[in-house]
Structure 1
Amino acid sequence: MTTAELLDALDPDQRAVAEHLTGPLCVLAGAGTGKTRAITYRIANGVRAGAYNPRTVLAVTFTARAAGEMRSRLRDLGVGGVQARTFHAAALRQLSYFWPQTIGGTVPQIVAHKASLVGEASGRLGLGADRVAIRDLAAEVEWAKVSLTTPEDYVDAAARAGRTGAAGHDLPTLARLLSVYEDVKHERGVIDFEDVLLLMVGILAEREDVAAQVREQYRHFVVDEYQDVSPLQQRLLELWLGRRTELCVVGDVSQTIYSFTGATPRYLSDFPRRHPGAPVVRLVRDYRSTPQVVELANRVLAPARRSSAAVELVAQRPSSAAVRFETYDDDLAEARAVAERIGELHRDGVALSEIAVLYRTNGQAEMLEQALADAQIGYLVRGGERFFARREVREAIVLLRGAVRSSAGQPLTEAVRDVLSSAGWSPEAPAARGAVRERWESLNSLVALADELAATRQADMAGLVAELDERMAAQHAPTVEGVTLASLHAAKGLEWDAVFLVGVSEGLLPISLAEGEDAVAEERRLLYVGITRAREHLQLSFARARTVGGRASRKRSRFLDGIWPDAGGGARRPQRAAAKAHTAAFLEDDPADAELFERLRSWRADVARVLSRPAYTVLHDTTLQAIASAKPKDLRQLGILRGIGSTKLEAYGPQVLAVVRGEEVDVEAYLPA
């Protein structure tokens, strides 16, 4: 892919990001607007232009999964060597390297969980605490540390932040707990995850020689999800940078949902002030969701859109199914109805792996699990057993690793099928449910990953094993067939074709624990995040009562006032208007593009007629718009456009290029007999 082809694959705003290679840059990216695409193409463009040495670029993400996905995308663009890591992973790597020369010895053991340490500190103070209280106290310890708050400063800092205590204890008591917690750690000779960042901050601040080495290694920084940065992470970033300004930050203040952990959007919203003259690029074109979903998301967020850094999304996909609003008598009825609707969608062709049920609290999952099990619908709970920890997956990877040499010269797709057949995989899914089906689904996801790598990278068995090793380190699991059950917090960063938001009632959204204007505003943003996970099908529901025959006292969420259909503000009419508006705006931008777009639509109608299929199943309007804007000259340029996969490229590619060239197309001559 040439540089021109690389940039032509982007929309004008994404391209502005990719072409700004030096100095500070702030990208305000709404949900579904292609921010990862923009920043990975920016890195690739910088490497191609010679502005970046890939080994001196550090892309910082907030999850290991996101880091793994970014590295994978960069490899697909032909760029290797870029470091994509979380703040913690990058800091731990540096700490492990510099510890011997700055502190001496080896890095102390890092405790995976604070519970035992917090429990001992609580016991020493005579506080006593059950498991839930220990969890709340541990969260308060984490907040203090990521907020750069010492035990001595805690009372004043917590009061300024509006924190009123935890687990029934007042601020002075919690300050004492923080101090004793540090004593317990010191006595055990261990550190926690926040200490990794704190220690690295201390070393960089005190040792100029170490700071110089780090700044020599990393010269260009990209920080994703910048609205979730804590004061501790920001301080580490500043020390990594020194006096330099080679920093690109990307974020969305409307997706700030982790302030209880110390995250703050102020670094994102204040970026232009802290970096005078820095360009600010807004990504507002939503390629993920239909106009119906986007319109609802904008309406939900509208009352809270006060920050100038907030963006209002503009839908780019064609109009589709209306958002559904459902009210049920009780939680059981809601769960069963959701399971029934999932079954309908699956029978209509929506893959189970492309369906999610999202809720505010994990306690809501149990009844949904039972309803899905009763309907014989497979599911997985996000946050349950990790994919790479499953026995069948571990055994399969051992077999694949052992077949690297013996499969040399054999196509990857064939080799993987041969290997995994010996582990119990078969081309057809077993009729049995339960453990047998789950085992097959795990193995089949490895087969699907092999097919994907063979098609996109021409990978061999060694390449597949290397990809699996990296995915294991990042916990970036392949797609497993089954409905996803997840909390709204756990769903951030993910997307599905169909999303069910259950329990959208007062007491759950906003949660009853949300006190004060800021806390309620964050709950509104949480609903916004849930809505914007959906690509096409979206249903919001709540139950009037908790139990069968219980008192019907629940009310729908205040965030849906004026939106819920029976409130005189049904969403369907404005959504249809939004769909027409975004297409009309495109047609007005450039007469040449508009003329080609209409020719492409006419061609699509002919194809749909010959195939006896709905027109949108051939190519979506947004794909036709992309083609009309890019005007690809060959199959390679066409193939990089969004919405053109290998199957559609093979089926329609020559016809589309003929239409772009202005030629008459005999549709029936192109199509197979």
Structure 2
Amino acid sequence: MDAEGILAGLNSDQRAAVLHDFEKGAQLLVLAGAGSGKTSVLTKRIQYRILSGEPPEKILALTFTAKAAAEMRERVQALFPNAGVRLCTFHSLALFMLRQVIGGKHAYEMLGFKAPPTPRDSSDREFLAKLSKLHVKSFSREDLFSDSVPASVAVKLEGLRADVLESGQVVFDDLIYLAIRLLATNEEACAFFREMWEDIMVDEYQDINPPQYRMVRLLLGDRKNLFVVGDDDQAIYGFRGADIGNINRFCDDFKDCTIIRLEWNYRSVPEVLHFSNEIFTNKPLRLRKVLRAGNPRGSGGNPLFRENRNVEIWDSDNPVEEMVRIVARMKELREGYDLHWKDFAILVRYNRLRLYYEEALRDALIPVAGENGDGEGEVVEDGVHVETVHASKGLQYAVVFYAGLAEGLTPGECLGSHAERKKQLDEERRLFYVGVTRAEAYLILLYCRRRFWKGRLRNMRRSQFLPKQNKVDGFMKMPLLLFKIRAVAAALAYMFVHIPLFLFVLLFMKKDADRWLDYKIQSFSKFCMKILRVNLTILDQANLAKVDWTRPVFVMGNHGSYADIPVAFIALERKTGFIAKSDLLRIPFLGFWMKRLGCIYVDRQKSGAAKSVHEAVKHNLQSAPLIFVFPEGTRSKTGKLSPFKSGGFRFSVETDAIVLPVVFKGTRQVWEGRVSSAPCDVNVRILEPIDVAALKKERGGVLDPKKDLMPMVRKVMEDNL
């Protein structure tokens, strides 16, 4: 298989990660959103490196479970059988290292061991009991073999150390500490292992703890070949010692590093993703992600996916009332959409809640996945899954009922100092995000006002993670002229307020300026929909995942209103420049933002407009290869397509661009054709992108923009109007 075979089916961001060049881009952090295909990217990266000439035995890939390592090994070897890539967990890597022979001597012998280290399970309680007998306090297992232990303590530990060195009986965490000590104190061993592995890859980077991080840094040294994949939004193992700071500090640790975001989610429908995107509102721009719907797994078949249902919030007085509703909805969906019981899940924060819902389902004669409860241990395959959110990570279900959304349950109880409580609450929010993103087609959030908890009946407060009950603008009736004046004033005020903020970002956060502008354009567009009272529906947004955004992209849309622009911003979920009349530059504050977007201005009163657009397009393609074009040139008053102008199509052919057709319906009623201040419905459909370069290749290198491309685009737009 060649490189294109490996890259087939990847979106532009996944492709960029697989092709990353360490020499040009240094260390790489892949911020992989939920359901974004990170395992596929990691395995294809390994395959690509082997295809590019990297000896497989020079590649080290670290995961957190033996199961994940085995899955990746199977995928890699499907293309390269018996490839000697070391795919393993941190603990198995450490054990492997300790058993290597370096300069005629086993590595463990360099650390003073008489016998090969043999790990066994042991609890912290057992270790602490031994320390207590030795009258040693405030001591970490990590320091058992450290040279920096105070002499008074070292004397007390001599016996314990000697027993371990003599017998080789270590606990699993000792392996990591010993590997670190070997690398940090023995130059020969450190050079040996750095020579052994040229490429280092780490999966689930957000979950590594400080010792594991130190181990990776020691193996890497001052080299650039580090490829890590993680999602800070899914860092939920702080109680195990995982340090989310490893992701937060990546850019500080590696000054020349590159960040690539995988934001196309191939699991969930857009409404679930829109909800999940609102969970984190105050994250640093550098690490922020926006999940976008790619092509949900079930969307090609089950109509439930195509419905793209809103996320629902159910308030119930008590769990019994809630359970009646759950059972009724499950039966309704199962019969109406031909779903299996295994397509449903009830997620909870605590195990004792899981037991309650399992029992309640059995009482309703609904099978529960796992043991059937009759004592014989028979496994039920087609049953409803009832799981804690921690256990559900990495899984997905068509329909998810997320239960117990009350203070003290979700988020769970946060204790300690103010800083400790904040840290715990941040992790609880990430846990909530994990639960939400398990839903593929339909998510229902459950809150009970009263329930038995910890031995007594309690009144429960609604979870702070649930969206507040927004008081709608009221949609009070007002004269149309007043409505329009109010809308224009609000939009201009928004633009004005954000000009100094943007200048501040340019001055003090220059690296994040583009990212900041992307978010603010989305925020502004949603604000416009609110003040204009628009109910917006976006159809076939998954087609955006088929666009190679690293190439020039010309978005072609029918033109009916000024409202087309904010609608387009929301539909595309990114900022885009557009070809506009230079007269618009005179509108206060609008001109400032149009320049920041990379808009191209034409003066319709003068000749030579096409030439000026041509030059501007060439200039813009160097930095922002995304231009919105209205091929009709002017706004249609009838809703039907006016004759197309060929300019945009000519530019598309000249630059071997991607043409992305979009169709608006109802935007004229938002402004120019508005008849009242009542809410109005608008929908926009994203059509299949057209790869002009591929089309040109199919036709022997010749493609006439006016005779070939323009009629093709016009037809698909007319078919969808």
Name the TM-score class by shorter chain.
0.5 to 0.7
Shift in Å, 1:26: 1.6
What amino acid sits opposite 1:366 in the alignment? L
Between the aligned partners of 2:159 and 2:312, the Cα distance in structure 1 is 49
Equivalent residue of 1:91, what SS?
A: helix
Out of 375, 381, 384, the residue aligned to residue 364 of structure 2 is 375
Equivalent residue of 2:465, what SS?
A: helix
Unpaired runs of 5+ in structure 2? 101-105, 296-305, 475-525, 545-567, 577-625, 628-648, 664-684, 697-711, 713-721
Between the aligned partners of 2:435 and 2:352, the Cα distance in structure 1 is 17
Please list the CA deviations of residues 470-519 of structure 1 after superposition, one character each: whole Å capped at 9, or x if unmatched. xxxxxxxxxx4433322222222322222221101001122123452222
1:41 aligns with 2:41: no
Equivalent residue of 1:558, what SS?
A: coil
1:507 aligns with 2:408: yes
Please list the CA deviations of residues 243-293 of structure 1 after superposition, one character each: whole Å capped at 9, or x if unmatched. 322101122222222223322222222222322222221222222211111
* Larger proportion of strand: 2
Between the aligned partners of 2:4 and 2:40, the Cα distance in structure 1 is 16
Match of 2:616 in 1: none
Match of 2:68 in 1: 66
Match of 1:81 in 2: 84
Asked if the contact 1:545/1:554 (under 8 Å) is kept, the reply is: yes
1:106 aligns with 2:94: no
Equivalent residue of 2:280, what SS?
A: helix
Please list the CA deviations of residues 406-454 of structure 1 after superposition, one character each: whole Å capped at 9, or x if unmatched. xxxxxxxxxxxxxxxxxxxxxxxxxx99689945x6xxxxxxxxxxxxx
Out of 525, 528, 544, the residue aligned to residue 449 of structure 2 is 544
Shift in Å, 1:310: 2.6
Asked if the contact 2:342/2:369 (under 8 Å) is kept, the reply is: no
Shift in Å, 1:241: 1.7
Superposed, 1:587-598 pairs within 5 Å as none
Equivalent residue of 1:377, what SS?
A: coil
Please list the CA deviations of residues 514-541 of structure 1 after superposition, one character each: whole Å capped at 9, or x if unmatched. 4522221221111011111211121110
1:291 aligns with 2:294: no
Asked if the contact 1:120/1:184 (under 8 Å) is kept, the reply is: no
Task: Report how many aligned residue pairs link the two structures.
Answer: 490
Match of 1:19 in 2: 19
Please list the CA deviations of residues 538-594 of structure 1 after superposition, one character each: whole Å capped at 9, or x if unmatched. 1110221124998561121011142x579999x9x9998474594654599688898
Asked if the contact 1:321/1:537 (under 8 Å) is kept, the reply is: yes
Asked if the contact 2:661/2:689 (under 8 Å) is kept, the reply is: no
Out of 362, 365, 369, the residue aligned to residue 354 of structure 2 is 365
Out of 264, 268, 271, the residue aligned to residue 250 of structure 2 is 271
Asked if the contact 2:198/2:225 (under 8 Å) is kept, the reply is: yes
1:223 aligns with 2:202: yes
* Larger proportion of helix: 1
Change (3 A) 1:194 1:550: closer
Out of 408, 424, 431, the residue aligned to residue 526 of structure 1 is 431
Superposed, 1:35-434 pairs within 5 Å as 35-50=38-53, 52-78=54-80, 80-97=83-100, 98-99=106-107, 101-102=109-110, 103-114=112-123, 117-118=126-127, 120-121=129-130, 124=133, 186=164, 190-302=169-281, 304-306=282-284, 308-317=286-295, 320-347=308-335, 348-380=337-369
Equivalent residue of 2:286, what SS?
A: coil
Asked if the contact 1:359/1:502 (under 8 Å) is kept, the reply is: yes
What amino acid sits opposite 1:13 in the alignment? D
**529-538 vs 66-75, which moves further:** 66-75
Asked if the contact 1:339/1:371 (under 8 Å) is kept, the reply is: no
Between the aligned partners of 1:230 and 1:55, the Cα distance in structure 2 is 26
What amino acid sits opposite 1:59 in the alignment? A
**78-87 vs 213-222, which moves further:** 78-87
Between the aligned partners of 2:39 and 2:351, the Cα distance in structure 1 is 29
Please list the CA deviations of residues 63-104 of structure 1 after superposition, one character each: whole Å capped at 9, or x if unmatched. 223222222332344464322212112112222444554344
Superposed, 1:467-486 pairs within 5 Å as 480-486=381-387
Match of 1:642 in 2: none
Change (3 A) 1:489 1:567: farther
Asked if the contact 1:377/1:482 (under 8 Å) is kept, the reply is: yes
Asked if the contact 1:346/1:352 (under 8 Å) is kept, the reply is: yes
What amino acid sits opposite 2:319 in the alignment? D
Match of 1:554 in 2: 460
Change (3 A) 1:344 1:434: farther
1:5 aligns with 2:10: no
Equivalent residue of 1:358, what SS?
A: strand
Between the aligned partners of 1:32 and 1:148, the Cα distance in structure 2 is 41
Between the aligned partners of 2:689 and 2:174, the Cα distance in structure 1 is 48
Please list the CA deviations of residues 327-367 of structure 1 after superposition, one character each: whole Å capped at 9, or x if unmatched. 22223443454344334433333333343222111111111
What amino acid sits opposite 1:311 in the alignment? K
Between the aligned partners of 1:488 and 1:86, the Cα distance in structure 2 is 23
Asked if the contact 1:336/1:371 (under 8 Å) is kept, the reply is: no
Asked if the contact 1:330/1:547 (under 8 Å) is kept, the reply is: no
Change (3 A) 1:151 1:492: farther
Equivalent residue of 1:555, what SS?
A: coil
Change (3 A) 1:519 1:527: same
What amino acid sits opposite 1:244 in the alignment? R
Shift in Å, 1:235: 0.9
Between the aligned partners of 1:526 and 1:532, the Cα distance in structure 2 is 10
Between the aligned partners of 2:113 and 2:322, the Cα distance in structure 1 is 59
Superposed, 1:523-672 pairs within 5 Å as 523-547=428-452, 553-562=459-468, 577=536, 579-580=538-539, 582=541, 585=571, 625=688
What amino acid sits opposite 2:352 in the alignment? G
What amino acid sits opposite 2:252 in the alignment? R
Change (3 A) 1:631 1:78: farther
**Seq. identity, %:** 32
Between the aligned partners of 2:70 and 2:377, the Cα distance in structure 1 is 28
Asked if the contact 1:222/1:249 (under 8 Å) is kept, the reply is: yes
Unpaired runs of 5+ in structure 1? 128-136, 155-174, 386-431, 442-479, 600-620, 634-661, 663-673
Shift in Å, 1:58: 1.2
Equivalent residue of 1:280, what SS?
A: strand
Between the aligned partners of 1:238 and 1:126, the Cα distance in structure 2 is 35
Between the aligned partners of 1:629 and 1:65, the Cα distance in structure 2 is 43
Larger-Rg structure? 2
Asked if the contact 1:256/1:525 (under 8 Å) is kept, the reply is: yes
Asked if the contact 1:96/1:106 (under 8 Å) is kept, the reply is: no
Change (3 A) 1:27 1:508: same
Change (3 A) 1:189 1:36: closer
